[in-house]
Amino acid sequence: MFKTIEWTSDGVRMIDQTRLPGEEVYRTCRNYQEVAEAIRSMVIRGAPAIGVAAAMGVALGIKNSSAQSIPELRSDFETIADVISKTRPTAVNLFWAIKRMRETFENALSEPGSETEKILRVRTCLVEEAQRVLAEDIAVNEAMGRHGAALLQDSSTVLTHCNAGALATGGYGTALGVIRAAVADGKRIGVFADETRPFLQGARLTAWELAKDGIPVTVITDNMAGHFMKESKIQAVIVGADRIASNGDVANKIGTYTVAVLARENHVPFYVAAPLSTIDLNIASGDEIPIEERSPSEVTHWRGILTVPENVNARHPAFDVTPHRYVTAIITERGVAREPYVETLKALFR
Ligand code: MRU
| CATH number, position 129 | 1.20.120.420
* C-alpha 242 – ligand 1 centre gap (Å): 6
Q: Please, are residues 206 and 163 in contact by the beta-carbon 8 Å criterion?
A: yes
Residue with CA nearest ligand 1 atom 10: 240
Q: What is the pLDDT of residues 248-297, one digit of tens each?
A: 999 999 999 999 999 999 999 999 999 999 999 999 999 999 999 999 99
Q: Please, are residues 191 and 164 in contact by the beta-carbon 8 Å criterion?
A: no
Residue with CA nearest ligand 1 atom 8: 253
Flag whether pLDDT at 329 surpasses 90: yes
* C-alpha 46 – ligand 1 centre gap (Å): 4
**Residues 180, 110 share a domain:** no
Residue with CA nearest ligand 1 atom 15: 164
**Residues 152, 110 share a domain:** no
Global pTM?
A: 0.98
What CATH code is carried by the domain that includes residue 204?
Answer: 3.40.50.10470
Q: Rounded to the nearest 10 degrees, how much is the dihedral formed by the CA atoms of 10, 11, 12, 17?
A: -70
pLDDT at 110: 97
**Residues 151, 128 share a domain:** no
Find the mean pLDDT for residues 19-48.
98
**Residues 323, 179 share a domain:** yes
Residue with CA nearest ligand 1 atom 6: 46
pLDDT at 1: 84
* C-alpha 243 – ligand 1 centre gap (Å): 10
pLDDT at 183: 98
Which atom in ligand 1 lies closest to the alpha carbon of residue 45? 4
Single out the residue in 102, 127, 143 at which a domain terminates: 143
Q: What is the overall mean pLDDT for the chain?
A: 98
List of residues 6+ apart from 201 with CB closer than 8 A? 45, 162, 163, 168, 253
Distance CA 90, CA 256 (A): 14
Domain count, the chain: 2
Single out the residue in 110, 143, 176 at which a domain terminates: 143
**Is the preceding peptide bond at 309 cis, omega within 30 degrees of 0?**
no
**Residues 333, 238 share a domain:** yes
Which atom in ligand 1 lies closest to the alpha carbon of residue 93? 12
Give, for ligand 1, the residue of 15, 176, 195, 253 to mutate: max count of ligand atoms closer than 8 Å to Cβ: 253
Find the mean pLDDT for residues 141-155.
98
* C-alpha 182 – ligand 1 centre gap (Å): 21
List residues with catalytic annotation: 242
Q: What is the pLDDT of residues 156-215, one digit of tens each?
A: 999 999 999 999 999 999 999 999 999 999 999 999 999 999 999 999 999 999 999 999
Single out the residue in 128, 143, 158 at which a domain terminates: 143
How do beta strands 243-245 and 279-280 pair?
A: parallel
pLDDT at 80: 99
**Residues 156, 109 share a domain:** no
**Residues 160, 88 share a domain:** no
pLDDT at 333: 98
Which atom in ligand 1 lies closest to the alpha carbon of residue 161? 10
Flag whether pLDDT at 220 surpasses 90: yes
**Residues 214, 342 share a domain:** yes
Which atom in ligand 1 lies closest to the alpha carbon of residue 201? 3
Q: What is the pLDDT of residues 84-130, one digit of tens each?
A: 999 999 999 999 999 999 999 999 999 999 999 999 999 999 999 99
**Residues 250, 108 share a domain:** no
Flag whether pLDDT at 347 surpasses 90: yes
* C-alpha 31 – ligand 1 centre gap (Å): 24
Residue with CA nearest ligand 1 atom 5: 46
* C-alpha 347 – ligand 1 centre gap (Å): 25
Flag whether pLDDT at 78 surpasses 90: yes
> 20 vs 36, 73, 179, 294, CA distance in Å?
20, 38, 21, 20
Which atom in ligand 1 lies closest to the alpha carbon of residue 273? 15
Give, for ligand 1, the residue of 5, 196, 252 to mutate: max count of ligand atoms closer than 8 Å to Cβ: 252
Flag whether pLDDT at 29 surpasses 90: yes
**Residues 52, 152 share a domain:** no
Around ligand 1, the residues with Cβ closer than 6 Å are 45-48, 91, 162, 164, 168-169, 174, 201, 239-242, 252-253, 318
Question: Could you write out the three-class secondary structure of the chain?
Answer: CCCCEEEECCEEEEECCCCCCCCCCEEEECCHHHHHHHHHCCCCCCHHHHHHHHHHHHHHHHHHCCCCCHHHHHHHHHHHHHHHHCCCCCCHHHHHHHHHHHHHHHHHHHCCCCHHHHHHHHHHHHHHHHHHHHHHHHHHHHHHHHHHHHHCCCCEEEEECCCCCHHHCCCCCCHHHHHHHHHHCCCCEEEEEECCCCCCHHHHHHHHHHHHHCCCEEEECHHHHHHHHHCCCCCEEEECCCEEECCCCEEEECCHHHHHHHHHHCCCCEEEECCHHHEECCCCCHHHCCCCECCCHHHHEECCEECCCCCCCCCCECEEEECHHHCCEEEECCEEECCCHHHHHHHHCC
**Structural domain that includes position 329:** 147-347
**Residues 128, 210 share a domain:** no
Distance CA 59, CA 127 (A): 5
**Residues 333, 233 share a domain:** yes
Q: What is the percentage of the chain residues whose pLDDT exceeds 90?
A: 99
